[in-house]
Chains A and B, each alone.
Chain A
Amino acid sequence: MRCAIKTEKLRKEYDSVVALKSLDMEIPEGETYGLIGPNGAGKSTLLKLLATAIKPDFGFALVEDANIETQPIEARKKVGFMPDFYALYEQVVAEDFLTYFALAYGVSRESIPGLVDKLLADVKLTEKRKANISELSRGMRQRLVFAKTLIHDPPVLLLDEPLSGLDPKARAEMIEILRELRKTGKTVVISSHILSELSALCTSIGIIEKGEMKIAGTIDEVRQAARGSGKVEIELISNAAPAANIISGFEFAEMRAVVGNTIVFDLQGDRSGIALINEALVQSGFGVVSISDERLNLEDIYFKVSSHEVQ
């Protein structure tokens, strides 16, 4: 699949701190990519680099084939960037704010009024179109800036902490807008600390720490890599001890305990092993009541990766 974003040996230093060490990353077109990492990991620096707000010390990055250092203007046309911290022109009215950026990105004059109307409707700000930005709440401002990132219909969106600082209602509204965005086929990179909400939005993730990409891929791939050996529990109708012998026969299973009719074991590798074990038990005449395996959520994966359990 074609890469929407590609970086190679990307490095950025601030005075004596290395924000990005030597980052190699590829994000396929159409992905909704979650960028996860602690404060100071280099997430915002990476997004700023891709948005051409800062320049790299070394290495290169391509955004839709435009080199951020040598073709910054091309790159900017292809990127919609929403920074984590920003201020707005307080005296400008909402629709003028969008019109201004439409003009700045070179959107054709005829299409601007219609486009502004549509975007204001999409982010539920139609009623506030004539309001000064100073009159808008935090959530409304966030939505307005989000509309600004879409104004030139960029194929790549870089959203730095789009959910931070929002109250629950505003956050729910923003998530809804981001969900809708997935249908458009745009490549979206979202950096966030709110991992539970990222998992509902993202198709793939990258965990970044101390300026290095620790692990990256689709959520299932990352989960698999992070999982290593996972605990599996199989409940049988009866007679668990002979069944445990069968399970022990599989190389990828390591017995942990037999408690009553329940067998607990560690499964190495992917989940297809569970299917094989289930098949073997059924063929041997054991009645399988339930199978439960440990499914890691994003937080589990993140903590596993950050505690160096996963390399």
Chain B
Amino acid sequence: MKLRFAMGLPEAWRLLRVSLRPSRMTAMAVASCFICFLIIAFNYVNIEFSKEQHFPAVLFYTRIAKGMFFYQLILWVVAIPVYASGALSQEFSQGTWVFQKTTPQPASKLLLGKLLGAGGDMYVASFAGIPFLAFSVLKCGMPIVDVFIVFSIFICLSILLSCFCFFLILSIFSENKQYGNSWIAFAVLIPLILIYSSIPVFNGEYGRNFCSITFLSPVFVIFTKLYPELCPLNKICFYSTKFPLIPFALLFYIGLAFAFFKAAAARMKRLASETTSCWPTAVLMIVFNLFFVGFLMNSPSCENCWLNVDQDDGVFYTLTFANLVFIYLAMSQHTRSIAEIRPWLYKFDSQRNKTAFFFRDDAPMFFTIILLLLVFIATSVVFHAVYSVRVSTLDSLLFISGFLLLALRDALFFQGAGLILKKSALQRAAIVYLLLFIAPTILFFKMRDVGVGRERQNFFGFIDLTPLTAFAALDSSFTGFPASYILVNGLLTALFGIVNFRLMSRAKAGISAISAKIND
């Protein structure tokens, strides 16, 4: 393989050198042809044994073409991301990472190399299957342009899932594994999106109202090409304007892949000793807001939008809730153990009158949260000004201040848990959090549905502690409640803050004392 190509991406060169050896390529091509043959044989046998006497040849070839497309889908959307992420995780599990870490290659180049080079075997398999696909497509009369469209979806999805896996692996295999695990929760979102967006397919007319969001589901977008009868809609509404579904979906996938790629590269850099700041998270949050506002904006010209939002305040709540999820995810990502905060503390101490940079990734988490909250408030203000949301200013201020208070409270809680519980801080914090906040929230809504006034009243003590109290505050049936929740949570935030401050200095001093004991 030419060294000219390798100069740009040595990592891709290394991986392709192994996978594109003649013996290996031959084996992959033969295996791929065998699978294609099985697909044809399966369809042939299926038709032979079917009760229909006159089975049109076009239908037979259509079935084979769909089978070939699904084979290619598995290669591109499943196998290549698995190979790419495997190439990265093996660096950690095998112990070769130390060599990569000490080369001057930028993290982005290394990741891009793995992205392009790791799937060498699968490229061969895919290429070997193309004659079978081409033959069946030509025979069934499917437009060739559709083949290119489906392949472009495959490639975009392959990149998206590979980048997502990179990000996940680099979060889990970080120097401090405990906070990396938190992203497993984020991984759950992907199947949720897949499941959620598949619902419209199986819900007939009702489901068609949701067709625009289904572009979030990779499977569904492919279905719109292969099974157009399931979802005839091929437009989505964004900022009150209709856009064609597939180009929009592809741009969305690539944009998301880029975000994951950048985040993965940033995490990789941190492992390799460079420091990063949390500013990119803030930028991502702004993009995230602008993106979702676009979907939430309704207009009479846009039917079958994602959410059928009748009132502007609904947009406001949805946006706020989406931000809440974003901030809490960022919070879990930025949870640090004392071992990681320590360098920041040393710098803070050594500079005396100056301050170590608050928004660096090794700074205590609540500074990051303050930054994100400021971003949230700023975007909310712009949103109010531009779209003249009908929610009263007082309500909005109350809502946002409650939100700020709750996020800060929980940031301090997570930080404190990290300082006390050392090794499995986040996991333990998550359990406490679940018991203390989430469970009462679920119970609250259950009780509210039942509508038993007394039980609901008795439950208020717990409700004050849940992150969703901000929403409850705006419910007109809870007169006088906002004051109580601001008071209770204000006191809690202050208490967590004081405890945290004490823990931080004690943890530093304590660890130094232990270290001194061990070393002297």
Contacts and interface: CB of A to CB of B under 8 A. Distances in A.
Contact of A103 (B3, B94, B339, B518): B3
B343 A57 contact: yes
A12 to B, nearest CB: 9
Given A53-B272, A55-B275, A58-B343, 8 more contacts: A13-B511, A52-B101, A52-B102, A81-B98, A103-B3, A103-B7, A103-B10, A104-B103
Given A18-B518, A100-B10, A211-B519, A73 B104 contact: yes
B10 A79 contact: no
Contact of A54 (B105, B273, B520): B273
Given A18-B515, A210-B519, A91 B274 contact: no
Contacts of A99: 3, 6
Interface in B1-59: 3-4, 6-7, 10-11, 13-14, 17-18
B342 interface: yes
B96 A16 contact: no
Contacts of B511: 13, 15-16
A68 B275 CA distance: 12
A210 B4 CA distance: 48
A83 B98 contact: yes
Nearest to B270: A55
A101 B514 CA distance: 41
Interface in B95-130: 95-96, 98-99, 101-105
Given A16-B514, A16-B518, A58-B343, A53 B104 contact: no
B101 to A, nearest CB: 5
Counting contact residues on chain B (CB < 8 A from A), the size range is: 35 or more
**A-B residue pairs, 8 tightest by C-beta:** A103-B10, A87-B95, A18-B515, A55-B273, A104-B103, A58-B346, A76-B104, A87-B94
Nearest to B3: A109
A5 to B, nearest CB: 15
Contacts of B102: 51-53, 76, 79, 81
Contacts of B11: 104
Interface string B433-471: 000000000000000000000000000000000000000
Contact of B96 (A13, A77, A89): A89
Interface string A73-112: 1001101010101111101100010011101111001001
Contacts of B7: 103, 109
B350 interface: yes
Given A58-B346, A106-B104, A13 B98 contact: no
B268 to A, nearest CB: 13
B273 A72 contact: yes
Contacts of A86: 95-96, 98-99
A105 B343 contact: no
Given A88-B96, A105-B104, A15 B339 contact: yes
Interface of A: 11, 13-18, 21, 51-58, 68-69, 72-73, 76-77, 79, 81, 83, 85-89, 91-92, 96, 99-101, 103-106, 109, 112, 148, 210-211
A103 B342 CA distance: 36
Contacts of B519: 18, 21, 210-211
A81 B98 CA distance: 9
B273 A100 contact: no
B154 to A, nearest CB: 27
Nearest to A97: B14
A17 B515 CA distance: 5
A112 to B, nearest CB: 6
A51 B511 CA distance: 26
A106 B346 CA distance: 35
A92 B17 contact: yes
A87 B97 CA distance: 9
Contacts of A210: 519-520
Nearest to B95: A87
B338 to A, nearest CB: 9
Contacts of B10: 100, 103-104
Given A52-B273, A103-B3, A85 B514 contact: no
Contacts of B520: 210
A87 B11 CA distance: 17
5 contacts: A14-B339, A51-B102, A88-B96, A103-B10, A109-B4
Contacts of A88: 96
Contact of A76 (B95, B96, B103): B103
Given A17-B518, A55-B343, A72-B272, A87 B96 contact: yes
A109 B10 CA distance: 11
B96 A69 contact: no
Contacts of B350: 58
B515 A13 contact: yes
Contact of A52 (B14, B94, B272, B347): B272
A136 B514 CA distance: 45
A105 B10 CA distance: 10
Contacts of B347: 58
Contacts of A72: 272-274
A99 B346 CA distance: 41
B14 A92 contact: yes
Contact of A77 (B104, B346, B518): B104
Contacts of B273: 52-55, 68-69, 72
A295 B422 CA distance: 50
A42 to B, nearest CB: 10
A195 B500 CA distance: 49
Nearest to A21: B519
Nearest to A80: B102
B206 to A, nearest CB: 53
Contacts of B13: 100, 103
A214 to B, nearest CB: 13
Contacts of A73: 104
Contact of A16 (B105, B175, B515): B515
B93 to A, nearest CB: 9
A158 to B, nearest CB: 9
A93 B296 CA distance: 55
Contacts of B175: 54
B5 to A, nearest CB: 10
Nearest to A211: B519
B283 to A, nearest CB: 24
Contacts of B94: 87
B17 A96 contact: yes
Contacts of A79: 102
A245 to B, nearest CB: 47
A96 B339 contact: no
B511 to A, nearest CB: 5
Contacts of B4: 109
A198 B378 CA distance: 63
A91 B96 CA distance: 13
A101 B346 contact: no
Residue from B4, B13, B515 with most neighbouring chain A CB atoms (10 Å): B515
Nearest to A212: B519
A106 B9 CA distance: 11
A104 B105 contact: yes
Nearest to A88: B96
Contacts of B422: 15
A30 B3 CA distance: 34
A85 B343 contact: no
